[in-house]
Amino acid sequence: MSTLAVEETQIPLAADDFNALEQRVLRLIELVRSERDARAAAEARIQSLEASVRSLEESGLNAEQRVISLEERLEQANGKIAQLTDEGAQSAAQLGSLEKERETVRTRVEKLLKQLDAIQV
């Protein structure tokens, strides 16, 4: 066999190897591209989640501030309720004493009217 025959068999084999290598490189390029896209999507998702966490933390602080404000308002309302309850009890006591005084005045007026009736008769 001549060297030409040996070279011919090696050339198609080398071309097949080159095509296989080219296909492997193209698949590797596609894999790298898809990995880059996946990484970019993951980084975007991470940024979105970090923003959500910050937002939740801020709203948590706002909620805590609202709770504190509402607790203060509740304490003020409880103080006003206690004050009004005391005023109501004082008013009830005054009303009771005024009713007694009215009854006393009524009995005196009735006695005076009886005395006037007795004088006129």
pLDDT tens figures, 11-24: 555 667 778 888 99
Please tell me whether the overall predicted TM-score, pTM, comes out greater than 0.75 for this model.
Answer: no
Mean pLDDT of the chain, nearest integer: 84
Q: Which of 64-73, 91-100, 102-111 has the lowest mean pLDDT?
A: 64-73
What gap in Å lies between CA 63 and CA 50, rounded to an integer? 20
Q: CA 73, 75, 79, 85 torsion: positive or negative?
A: positive
Residue 69 to residue 52: CA distance in whole angstroms: 25
Percent of the chain with pLDDT over 70: 86
pLDDT at 11: 56
Query: What's the confidence (pLDDT) of residue 100?
Result: 93
Residue 33 is predicted with a pLDDT of: 93
